[in-house]
Structure 1
């Protein structure tokens, strides 16, 4: 880190940007990073539920590449951003024969392309600081899961990009890692797996820790990767899955 960058680093509060941070896992991540001392900017299509996140939040459709680039470039110009959590993502469950091509474009644009656009826009700020932490929220579905053809493709793309970025950005003190959640109790999970359904019961019974993960479990892993002391860890994927990926 250069002397100028070190001085900025010591005098400015670090800023973390969290995409899709208005609800569920993204909100838990944003709130945890606030607790860790960062100024957190949530970028989402809706306003954050948590009042502490509302003042600095930006609303934009992250599937719109041009609009996203404008917002992120403005954030990178106004703030000294050193943390980026590419968290936004949606699921379109469907068996192979039922997959819709329009869903392929929709999920790829939001889940994967937005991460590329956001990262490109905020890299100048991280390079100017001489350090950065980029975390991508992927999923254990990269190892295989029924009815997740498109979703798993987007998450696999994120993990592949993360490994490439880790190599390209290492010389700038910027690390790139992935957190891959397993079954997490979010509104989206319960919508796809009603709590009283046999499917939900089977999922929980197959978790070695015998409980659903909570959004805060994912936030804990993100916090670890964002920590300044995690600077010798890059290009990795940490599964937050209660042991599901072990067997």
Structure 2
């Protein structure tokens, strides 16, 4: 089922209802895509609500059902595996329950969603898959489990890039550094000494915004970015340099 030339291209964004995911979804709408948001809550932005699906992405069977419905209804050529949660804890305090929860949501959902949408991409003769990872893959205190999930995503992306290249499907990662989201401020209150130190240690001397991450995702999703695959772009204000 090849996609008609005049049909609006379709993108799926997991975790697209809030924060970075919302910024990505809105940017892709601006870029001309019909955007399907898959999240546990309804999108805040009115323009994203019509094509939204609510599902607990940590639930494998529920995710499979929703993704099968999306694959049946839309000719999807872009997938942004964005959903993810953090469970900050030092190694002595890391909980196995959190390990299972984060692996299921952050990693397993990406595998399920990608498998479900690959037939549509192959039929269309092209595809763009982007995984939202994190600067923590380079190391960060109190992120044992979270960094493990994001490192797993980057490893999977490199493997997928090799397997899917012959189908003109690229697979890349965006790895944000300090981004001003509700989750960040919850873990680092704006008036705290910790938050002040974080900003001071960013070479650009400002927090990143969700739109900064969306800009990188937009680049990877562009049809003209077809010779870039298996890569990770750090959106970090220079934190990863040196």
Q: Smaller-chain TM-score range?
A: over 0.9
DSSP-derived class of the 1:213 partner:
coil
Instruction: Tell me, yes or no, if the aligned pair for 1:9 and 1:129 is still in contact at 8 Å.
Output: no
Show structure 2 runs of 5+ residues with no match: none
Q: Deviations over 1:155-203 (max 9, x none)?
A: 0000000000000000000000000000000000000000000000000
| Count of residues paired in the alignment | 242
Q: Distance in 1 between matches of 2:142 and 2:130?
A: 26
Tell me the residue number matched to 1:16.
11
User: Please, which of 150, 153, 157 is the counterpart of residue 155 of structure 1?
Assistant: 150
User: Please, which of 86, 102, 107 is the counterpart of residue 97 of structure 2?
Assistant: 102
Instruction: Tell me, yes or no, if the aligned pair for 1:177 and 1:225 is still in contact at 8 Å.
Output: yes
Give the 5 Å matches for 1:1-80: 5=2, 8-80=3-75
Tell me the residue number matched to 2:78.
83
Given the alignment of the two structures, is residue 123 of structure 1 paired with residue 129 of structure 2, yes or no?
A: no
What TM-score, normalized to structure 2? 0.99
RMSD: 0.8
DSSP-derived class of the 1:135 partner:
strand
Q: Distance in 1 between matches of 2:75 and 2:167?
A: 15
Tell me the residue number matched to 1:174.
169
Given the alignment of the two structures, is residue 193 of structure 1 paired with residue 194 of structure 2, yes or no?
A: no
Q: Distance in 2 between matches of 1:178 and 1:78?
A: 27
Q: Distance in 2 between matches of 1:113 and 1:239?
A: 23
Q: Deviations over 1:134-166 (max 9, x none)?
A: 000000000000000000000000000000000
* Cα shift at 1:9: 4.9
Instruction: Tell me, yes or no, if the aligned pair for 1:12 and 1:80 is still in contact at 8 Å.
Output: no
Q: Deviations over 1:74-117 (max 9, x none)?
A: 11111110000000000000000000000000000000000000
DSSP-derived class of the 1:229 partner:
helix
Q: Distance in 2 between matches of 1:211 and 1:50?
A: 26
DSSP-derived class of the 1:11 partner:
coil
User: Please, which of 207, 228, 233 is the counterpart of residue 233 of structure 1?
Assistant: 228
* Cα shift at 1:12: 1.6
Given the alignment of the two structures, is residue 92 of structure 1 paired with residue 81 of structure 2, yes or no?
A: no
Q: 1:37 to 1:131 in 2, by over 3 A?
A: same
User: Please, which of 101, 106, 114 is the counterpart of residue 111 of structure 1?
Assistant: 106
Runs of at least 4 residues off by over 2 Å? none
User: Please, which of 209, 219, 222 is the counterpart of residue 217 of structure 2?
Assistant: 222
DSSP-derived class of the 1:147 partner:
coil
Q: Distance in 1 between matches of 2:38 and 2:225?
A: 25
* Cα shift at 1:21: 0.2
Show structure 1 runs of 5+ residues with no match: none
